[in-house]
Amino acid sequence: MQLYKTRDFSLFFQDTFSFVKSHGGHFFKNFFIVNGLFVLILMIIGYFFMSFYTDIVFGGMMEGNTNVIDDFMNENSVLFLMLFVLFLVASLVFGVFMYAFPVFYLQLYQKTGGTDFGSSELFMAYKENLDKLFIYIICSLLVGIPLIIVFSVLVFALFITIIGILLLPFAIGAVMLFFFMALLEYMEGRMGIWDSYSYSWRLLSSKFVAAVGSVGLFYLMSYLIQNVITLIAYIFGFVQMFTTIEDGTPQADDVGGMMSVVMIISFIAGFLLGTILNNIVLINQGIIFYSLKEEAEGINTRDIIDQIGTGE
């Protein structure tokens, strides 16, 4: 599939699904080869956090203590802070590495004209661009601070009405598309980081409604799918818990253990599903980037003209 291609709103959708259908196996196989360790570490950290959380909450609830979380945080504030910082740092570092994977994948796809590459080329792309990823993280934090302030005000305004809540995924989509297209352009090596942010904004504003509408709908679909899966797991857990209660007086360890299993399974399944869906959303953003870049610069059109001239 040609990445540099003029697209409208419907083609943003069609080409995203076509790309995943044709190359999804190759994409996700290499994703888990390259980022499998990061995914595993985050899942392990999340597992211990969820297990720790459910043991305290449900154990305290069965003993009649409704302030169990507050009590634990007051008694173990240092441990809680250390766990939180560890999870935050790991999530940030590993998250950026996973976030960058579609960037390198699409660049290699464009360079080779297909999927004639593997994990070794992707590892090399990471190695060659570690400094750029670090710069991107720092600059994104600087750019993100004022954006977070503006976005927080916008989110508060959107939550006032039902219609506003429905528009929230599109607001998130606009912000995420802006940052992702800046990363894509920065990794191309033509521009510095600040010029890449400026270029990303120019592309975004050139076809704002179609681009943001596509990304927003993908975020909305991803959110709904993940929450439906989580809801099913919790419904199953509560049904099991009420069945246990009807059969007799439940033991705190039994109920807490049951809910721990439900929450841990929900977390692991939700994390893996969320990782896959997030990559599909990023593929959609990448396709939008190459489409908007083609409209702005006519890269594919120039290549076709050059090939005609060479043939003559």
* DSSP secondary structure code for residue 4 in this structure: S
- Look at residue 25 in the predicted model and tell me its pLDDT: 93
Reduced to 3 states (helix: H, G, I; strand: E, B; else coil), residue 35 is helix
Residue 308, pLDDT above cutoff 80: no
Going from N- to C-terminal start, the domains of the chain cover: 9-25+100-311
- 237-273 confidence digits (pLDDT tens): 666 666 655 555 555 555 555 666 666 777 777 888 8
Residue 140, pLDDT above cutoff 80: yes
Query: What angle (nearest 5°) sits at the alpha carbon of residue 104, between those of residues 98 and 106?
Result: 115
DSSP 120-177: HHHHHHHHHTHHHHHHHHHHHHHHHHHHHHHHHHHHHHHTTSHHHHHHHHHHHHHHHH
Whole-prediction pTM value? 0.83
Q: What percent of the chain has pLDDT over 90?
A: 39
- Look at residue 197 in the predicted model and tell me its pLDDT: 95
Measured over the CA atoms of residue 226, residue 231, residue 232 and residue 236, the dihedral's sign is positive
- Look at residue 158 in the predicted model and tell me its pLDDT: 66
Greater pLDDT, 47 or 14? 14
pLDDT bucket at 146, cuts 50 / 70 / 90 = confident
* Residue that is written with structure tokens 């004022």 in the block: 146
CA–CA distances in Å: residue 125 to residues 62, 104, 120: 52, 6, 9
